[in-house]
Structure 1
Amino acid sequence: MSVKQRLDDDVKAAMRAREKERLVTLRLITAAIKQREIDERIVLDDAQVLAVLDKMVKQRRESISHFDAANRHDLADKERFELGLLQGYMPAALEVAEIDRLVAGAIAATGASGVRDMGRVMAHLKPQVQGRADMAELSQRVKALLGG
């Protein structure tokens, strides 16, 4: 079952169960997906839907840190709820050893020899790790292996 279909089924289930908070968050997710589809005039596949969800997860994490710093625990709790729901649709996170193996394979596949080749390596890795690894951490790992 595709991620979009799972979302649609979960929206219907939340409506039937009268789970207001969950329904609001699920509608927010589907609205973000539909907005991207309308903007780009395409139908998103699972990889593109995961990219939208990944962006939303990153936004929630940043918001939580800002709200906690400002002692707005009520808003941080709301963001944590949304983050938990979003993570339920994301694939399982990669282990550190698996990430290292993928990075080494990407460096070999692209023939990268230094930090200037980092863009090619990241472009090669992105489809493989989308939604399963933090891209900032992955970037640091690639840079370290390339000697940067």
Structure 2
Amino acid sequence: MGVLSEFKEFAVRGNVIDLAVGVIIGASFGKIVTALVDQIIMPPIGLLIGGVDFSEWAITLRGETVDAAGEVVPAVTVGIGLFLNTLIQFVIVAFAIFLVVKFINRLKRKQEEKPAEAPKPAEDIVLLREIRDSLKVRSPDGPTV
């Protein structure tokens, strides 16, 4: 079997295609969440606490300097605002995944709860039960054989 035919067999398996679709949808969902956090959630929060732009919020460890050659050495900063935005994005994505998994588990439980029909006993078993029941004789003290 050639490499191309093996690759074709691998690529058209259901699991690989499902995984590819999941990755594409996940990447798109990530972009939506990023836009939601950066453009919708964080601006009002920044406004409420005094007009802070979280994407610019950072702690400067060392300011911008000029080296001996006259080139500008950029400042060394810790981007707290960017980290906070990313953390909020993570919480939103994790919560969305939690809801999806919870929904799928609920569907699985409903399928498992459906009682399976009891298999019908074999015809000879049914006949033997009928014979047993017809042989029972009632006495004044209760059922006996």
- TM-score range relative to shorter protein: under 0.3
Q: Which has the higher helix share?
A: 1
TM-score for both structures, normalised by structure 2: 0.21
Larger RCO: 1 or 2 (CA < 8 Å, sep 6+): 1
TM-score for both structures, normalised by structure 1: 0.21
Q: Which has the higher strand share?
A: 2
